Amino acid sequence: MTPRDIAFVLRCSGAATLAYALAAALGLQHPVWASITGVIVSQDNLDQTRSAVIWRFAGTVVGIAVAVIAGSLIAVAGWGTAAQTGISVALCAALVRRWPDLKVAMWTAPILFFARDPNVTLLSAGYWRGSEVVLGGLTGVALHLMAEQAMTWLEQKLAARDR
């Protein structure tokens, strides 16, 4: 294993752990989504991580918006959760055909329907899921930035030693 391999392992594990701990400390309803996002955005290089976090945030916002709008309209018609989920996923899938990197929207919509307390509105559930995703994504990016700085410092020290 190279130092970069070890750094990747540590920052993925750190992102999962720290994002969960922060979300729990802040009282977010499902800290697991912060933890999962911290891992999902952790890519091999910093540009990939930045891209992953941008698309994760964009897909989450789209999934939340579609679920809240379509779900609310469909509920008024008296249709249940299955119809709300199916139509929301179909709308998100249509968007993903045009912008494939928005694919997280297709599972964000069902998560809102199935992971919310029945006494919580879709809008409130969307706020909480969005907050968890943002916290996890920012944690993953922050750890990647710190790891890159540490790796640059280490590589410079090793290069100076080898001269």
Q: What is the pLDDT of residues 90-141, one digit of tens each?
A: 999 999 999 999 999 999 999 999 888 889 999 999 999 999 999 999 999 9
Quote the pLDDT of residue 118: 84
Average pLDDT rounded to a whole number, residues 47-61 = 96
Rg for the chain (alpha carbons), in Å? Answer: 19
Q: Domain spans of the chain?
A: 3-162
Report the candidate in 111, 105, 88 with the shortest Cα–Cα distance to residue 29: 111
User: pTM of the prediction?
Assistant: 0.89
End-to-end CA distance of the chain, in Å? 23
- Mind listing the pLDDT tens digit for each residue in 6-40? 999 999 999 999 999 999 999 999 999 999 999 99
State whether the Cα torsion 132-135-140-141 is positive or negative: positive
Instruction: Report the distance separating Cα 15 and Cα 136, nearest Å.
Output: 7
Query: Residue 47 and residue 83: Cα distance in Å, rounded?
Result: 38
